[in-house]
């Protein structure tokens, strides 16, 4: 069953057609990779899923309900979480606090005044956060202020912030960009290990990452999906070779 159904989505910035009649269907429980050259419109497409942008035309249905015109926090509350291309974390707060905050959103909803009890009295929230921190390997650093983390750790932290909410759909925008080989492998390993039941959309440049993770690949070029299918089909597709993979990656 398709958890996310994207139909004929168009988005233009001034004269630039960033998305041109995009169709996409993401099956529940799978990892769906979106690849394509820089400027192809990949991040723009994700922005249309989380309420950052509204497409000019077309529809985006999540579990049979439209995601268009509702606010980012409402979209998150329906079960969509996103890891950004540049990590969006709470840099002034500790790692543990960073992960407890999304857990509060999950348990208490979009707005609740809880001003008398202490944070510490919510043991279940702390437990949720610590469990995920163990999974992503940041538990030992839980009291560190997150601004001092390495780029790789910031990514891992942002992933933990999404995973603690146990979303139905997790969007990852270039989760390994700028990472060392070792860090990249760690991230791949992490994504294979945790949240295995969560449907994921991964935007990625690294073909090694894509082919290790993806059940399905869509290739985006100049705002249009030029190919889609199983990794093996994509590897052999001459159109894709030409548009994106070139000689070196394949």
Partner 1 sequence: MFAGLTRNDKLLFIGFTIAALAMPLLAWPVGANYPDLLQKFAIYGIFAIGFNILFGLTGYLSFGHAAFLGVGSYAAVWMFKGVTMNVIPAVIFGVMVSGMFAALIGFISLRRSGIYFSILTLAFAQMSYNLAYSVLTPITNGETGLQLSQDDARIIDRLFVEQGAGLPSTNLFGLEMSGYPGFYFCCVLLIIAFFISLRIQRSPFGMMLRAIKTNQVRMNYTGFNTRPYALTAFIISGMYAGLAGSLLAVTDPLAGAERMQWTASGEVVLMTILGGAGTLIGPILGAGLIKYFENIFSSYNDGLLSESFSFLPDFLNDTLVFIIGPFVGEGWSLLLGIVFMAIVIFLPGGLMEGLTRIHGWYRRRGGGDTRAADAASSRQAAE
Instruction: Give the footprint of Mg ion on this chain (CB under 5 A).
Output: 43
Query: Which CB atom, from 88 or from 242, has the smaller least distance to partner 1?
Result: 88
Q: Verify binding: residue 195, ligand ADP, rule CB under 6 A.
A: no
Q: Of 199, 215, 216, 208, whose CA–CA distance to 245 is shortest? A: 208
CB-based contacts of 161: which residues, under 8 Å, 6+ apart?
Answer: 81, 89, 98, 99, 101, 102
Q: Verify binding: residue 108, ligand ADP, rule CB under 6 A.
A: no
| Helix, coil or strand: residue 139 | helix
Residue of 3, 4, 22, 43 that binds ligand ADP (CB under 6 A): 43
Q: Of 143, 136, 120, whose CA–CA distance to 195 is shortest? A: 136
Distance CA 112, CA 110 (A): 7
Query: Which CB atom, from 16 or from 119, has the smaller least distance to ligand ADP?
Result: 16
- Contact mark string toward partner 1, 118..157, x via CB under 8 A: xxxxx--x-----------------x--------------
Q: Which stretch binds ligand ADP (CB under 6 A): 40-48, 134-142, 162-170, 188-196?
A: 40-48
- Using CB under 6 A as the binding rule, the residues of this chain from 3 to 32 that contact ligand ADP are 13, 16, 18
CB-based contacts of 82: which residues, under 8 Å, 6+ apart?
Answer: 46, 49, 50, 162, 170, 171, 172, 173
The entry of Mg ion, ligand ADP, partner 1, none that residue 6 binds, CB within 5 to 8 Å by partner kind: none
DSSP 121: G
Distance CA 174, CA 219 (A): 15
Contact status, residue 39 vs residue 16, Cβ threshold 8 Å: no
Distance CA 86, CA 197 (A): 25
- Using CB under 8 A as the binding rule, the residues of this chain from 163 to 202 that contact partner 1 are 165
Q: Which stretch binds partner 1 (CB under 8 A): 8-16, 17-25, 104-112, 187-195?
A: 104-112
Q: Verify binding: residue 39, ligand ADP, rule CB under 6 A.
A: yes
Task: Please give the residue ranges that form the binding site for partner 1 (CB under 8 A).
Answer: 50, 71-73, 76-77, 81-82, 84, 88-93, 97, 100-102, 104-106, 108-111, 113-122, 125, 143, 161, 165
């Amino acid at each position: 069953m398709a958890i996310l159904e994207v139909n004929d989505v168009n988005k233009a910035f001034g004269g630039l057609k960033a998305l041109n009649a995009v169709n996409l269907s993401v099956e529940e429980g799978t990892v769906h990779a979106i690849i394509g050259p820089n400027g192809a419109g990949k991040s723009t497409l994700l922005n249309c899923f989380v309420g950052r942008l509204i497409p000019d035309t077309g529809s985006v249905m999540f579990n049979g309900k439209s995601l268009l015109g509702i606010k980012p926090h409402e979209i998150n509350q329906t079960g969509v979480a996103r890891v950004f291309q540049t990590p969006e974390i709470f840099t002034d707060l500790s790692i543990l606090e960073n992960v407890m905050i999304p857990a509060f959103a999950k348990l208490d909803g979009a707005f609740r005044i809880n001003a008398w009890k202490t944070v510490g009295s919510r043991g279940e929230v702390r437990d949720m956060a610590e469990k995920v921190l163990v999974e992503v390997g940041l538990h030992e650093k839980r009291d560190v202020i997150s601004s001092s983390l390495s780029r790789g750790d910031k990514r891992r932290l942002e992933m933990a912030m999404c995973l603690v909410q146990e979303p139905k759909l997790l969007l990852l925008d270039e989760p390994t960009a700028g990472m060392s080989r070792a860090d990249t492998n760690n991230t791949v390993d992490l994504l294979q290990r945790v949240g295995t039941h969560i449907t994921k959309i991964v935007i990625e440049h690294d073909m090694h990452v894509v082919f290790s993770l993806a059940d399905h690949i869509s290739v985006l070029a100049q705002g249009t999906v030029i190919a889609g299918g199983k990794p093996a089909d994509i590897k052999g597709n001459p159109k894709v070779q030409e548009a994106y993979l070139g000689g070196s990656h394949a």
